[in-house]
């Protein structure tokens, strides 16, 4: 216990020293990078102390703001993301949502699509969990763009199962937009069919994923009104196990 108390006291003093350094520097463009680093250092010190999470989050946000001023979007994004997670821990959903969005915007600026999309998805989850009002059109469009860009990269690497799953996830958001077009939805569903079917036929994924790929490819055909094709796809599963029989029965009922 004594060692823990010493560690907490040391962390608080270290955080205070970083803050003092940040506050003594003149607020000019030449100093913003150092100021941001000092505030982040303080935030990391406070993060180790359970009862100082508000101070921790505040330091991360200050670091993010100063990084943003000098267009250091990478550090801005990381600080806003860390701050948002602390606010989530504190159950402050408004500030968590706001700063996950800021993190997503900054990650997007530097082409970190995976991290950007993760940030927007976190913001969406926070908005739903906290019952917040949010920019549905804006956040859904960013999530859709991000998921599809990640899927494009997976396709280049022949990761068809992952690509299909990402497109399927993006459909969940696209179909909720007032501006959604039926022909684009059909095209997205058709791509889900194509990539799951290719994943199943390449057989470079585990057996359970191969079966799931056939099932989802078949359901995609049903959604686009291609019932004969749906039954043909599901019939290609050569396993005779109980799970497969149940899947085939579900597809038969859907058709």
pTM assigned to the model: 0.88
Instruction: Please check the confidence at residue 1 and state whether its pLDDT lies above 50.
Output: no
For residue range 167-207, list pLDDT tens digits in order. Answer: 999 999 999 998 999 999 999 999 999 999 999 998 888 88
pLDDT the model gives residue 30: 93
- In CATH, the architecture of 1-134 is Alpha Horseshoe (1.25)
- Residue 122's closest CA among 85, 83, 167? 85
Summarised one tens digit per residue, pLDDT across range 98-141 is: 999 999 999 999 999 999 999 999 999 999 999 999 999 999 99
Q: What mean pLDDT do residues 233-252 have?
A: 88
Residue 233: pLDDT band (50, 70, 90) is very high
CATH code given to domain 141-255: 1.25.40
Residue 50 has pLDDT above 80, yes or no: no
Q: What angle do helix axes 242-254 and 227-234 make, rounded to 10 degrees?
A: 180
How crowded is residue 102: how many other Cβ atoms within 10 Å of its Cβ? 23
For the chain, the domains span 1-134, 141-255
């Amino acid at each position: 216990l004594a060692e823990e108390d010493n560690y907490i006291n040391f962390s608080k003093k270290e955080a205070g020293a970083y803050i003092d350094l940040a506050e003594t520097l003149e607020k000019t463009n030449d100093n913003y990078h150092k100021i941001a680093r000092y505030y982040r250092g303080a935030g990391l010190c406070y993060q180790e102390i359970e009862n100082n999470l508000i101070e921790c989050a505040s330091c991360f946000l200050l670091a993010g703001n100063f990084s943003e001023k000098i267009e250091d979007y990478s550090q801005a994004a990381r600080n806003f993301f860390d701050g948002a997670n602390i606010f989530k821990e504190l159950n402050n959903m408004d500030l968590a949502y706001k700063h996950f969005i800021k993190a997503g915007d900054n990650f997007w600026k530097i082409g970190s699509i995976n991290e950007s999309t993760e940030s927007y998805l976190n913001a969406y989850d926070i908005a739903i969990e906290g019952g917040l009002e949010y920019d549905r059109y804006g956040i859904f469009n960013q999530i859709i763009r991000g998921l599809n860009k990640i899927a494009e990269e997976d396709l280049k690497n022949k990761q068809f199962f992952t690509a299909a799953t990402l497109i399927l996830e993006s459909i969940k958001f696209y179909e909720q937009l007032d501006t959604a077009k039926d022909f684009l939805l059909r095209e997205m569903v058709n791509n889900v069919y194509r990539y799951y079917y290719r994943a199943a036929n390449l057989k470079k994924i585990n057996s359970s994923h191969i079966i799931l790929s056939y099932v989802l490819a078949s359901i995609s055909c049903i959604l686009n009104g291609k019932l004969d094709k749906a039954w043909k796809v599901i019939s290609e599963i050569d396993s005779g196990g109980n799970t497969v029989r149940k899947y085939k029965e579900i597809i038969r009922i859907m058709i």
